[in-house]
Amino acid sequence: MVGGTGFVGRTLANHLDREDIEVRILTRDRERHKDNLILLPNVELVQTDVHDVEQLKKYFSGCDAVINLVGILNERGRDGSGFRHAHVELIRKIIEACQHAHIKRLLHMSALNADAQTGTSHYLKTKGEAEDLAHQAAAQGIKVTSFRPSVIFGREDSFFNRFAKLLKLTPLFFPLACARTRFAPVFVGDVAQAFVKTLKDPESYGRRYDLCGPKIYTLEQLVRYTAECTGIKRRIIPLNDILSRIQAAVFDFVPGKPFSTDNYLSARVDSVCKHNGLNDLGITPVAVEAVVPQYLTYQSQRARYNQFRSHTHRNHPV
């Protein structure tokens, strides 16, 4: 598995481990992730450079299938080269290594709205190009299945958790770009289950599954819900398109890029499914309301507890 130490990868590794499937996860920093994964009896964590095709060939040897989960939401620069490196160049190397190791099965993580020609952002264009390259590997005898999720949520997600942090940092009111864009958030456990169900299923060969949750929300509704779950009282102010673009341009230069021009260009398009692939796979999608309050409320309570302890120690030194 490439990209297996990320948010989706850790969940998928647990699902595969429960199915008694042996998993080799390639990572550039084994020590950083060993506490999360090394205790799983069927998981082997290998430190290597996944962009070194010779290393991929070495560690793909003996495997029956490869899963590619690598993806970035932002790049250091703004010209698309970072997205191209992470998405397009890597899948080329993965396919080459699969051919060398005689691997005939590839599961590939793409994204909803990914399209090499019509994608509205570098992210969506390079994701689309990488997805097409993966499926073109069928000409070399590789059986490919790709997955195109809407925004993915779960305990360690970068969506609800990111907005919770931003809401805490913003006093009184919260200016929200692309507030009317619609999303159908999909639970990380459902995404992982889709990978597991299709891994050995010939019916999934060549398929591209759009993955969505059971409900559609505007971004404004999701941010308001985040504020509600965390108990943060902020006035949410939806920004028009011009102000959204300006906010993104400013945030391009903020460390960590909480929002970027490329994010803005991606978010101008609704992230909803015309046909939900989870239904085809017999998976009943989990709703936001069934999961998100559990981890956002817990984290909010823990933060208040830590703040209380800190205040107590300052006023009552040992």
Residue 308 has pLDDT above 70, yes or no: no
User: Average pLDDT in the 64-79 region?
Assistant: 96
With a pLDDT cut of 90, the percent of the chain lying above it is: 87
Residue 315 is predicted with a pLDDT of 53
User: Average pLDDT in the 152-181 region?
Assistant: 95
Q: Distance (Å, rounded) from C-alpha 190 to C-alpha 286? A: 7
User: Average pLDDT in the 63-91 region?
Assistant: 96
Residue 252 is predicted with a pLDDT of 95
Residue of 36 and 181 predicted with greater confidence: 181
Structure tokens of 285? 């999608």
Residue 298 is predicted with a pLDDT of 67
Residue 73 has pLDDT above 70, yes or no: yes
Residue 318 is predicted with a pLDDT of 41
Q: 223-254 pLDDT, tens per residue?
A: 999 999 999 999 999 999 999 999 999 999 99
Helix or strand run (H / E) with residue 125 = helix 122-136
Helix or strand run (H / E) with residue 269 = none
Residue 306 is predicted with a pLDDT of 46
Residue 118 has pLDDT above 70, yes or no: yes
Residue 314 has pLDDT above 80, yes or no: no
Residue 111 is predicted with a pLDDT of 98
Q: Which of 64, 21, 25 is nearest to 47 (CA)?
A: 25
Classify 115 as helix, strand or coil.
coil
Residue 105 has pLDDT above 70, yes or no: yes
Which backbone phi and psi does 46 adopt, to 5 degrees?
-120, 130
- According to CATH, what is the number of the domain 7-152+186-213+273-286? 3.40.50.720
Residue 36 is predicted with a pLDDT of 76
User: Average pLDDT in the 156-164 region?
Assistant: 95
Q: What average pLDDT does the structure give for the chain?
A: 93
Domain 153-185+214-272+287-306 fold: UDP-galactose 4-epimerase; domain 1 (3.90.25)
- List 230's β-bridge partners, or say none: none
Residue 69 is predicted with a pLDDT of 98
Residue 299 is predicted with a pLDDT of 64
- Res. 18 pLDDT band, cuts 50 70 90: very high
Q: CATH 3.40.50.720 region(s) of the chain? A: 7-152+186-213+273-286
Residue 38 is predicted with a pLDDT of 84
Q: CATH 3.90.25 region(s) of the chain? A: 153-185+214-272+287-306
User: Average pLDDT in the 2-15 region?
Assistant: 96
Residue 311 is predicted with a pLDDT of 45
Identity of residue 1: M
Is 210 within 8 Å of 273 (Cβ atoms)? yes
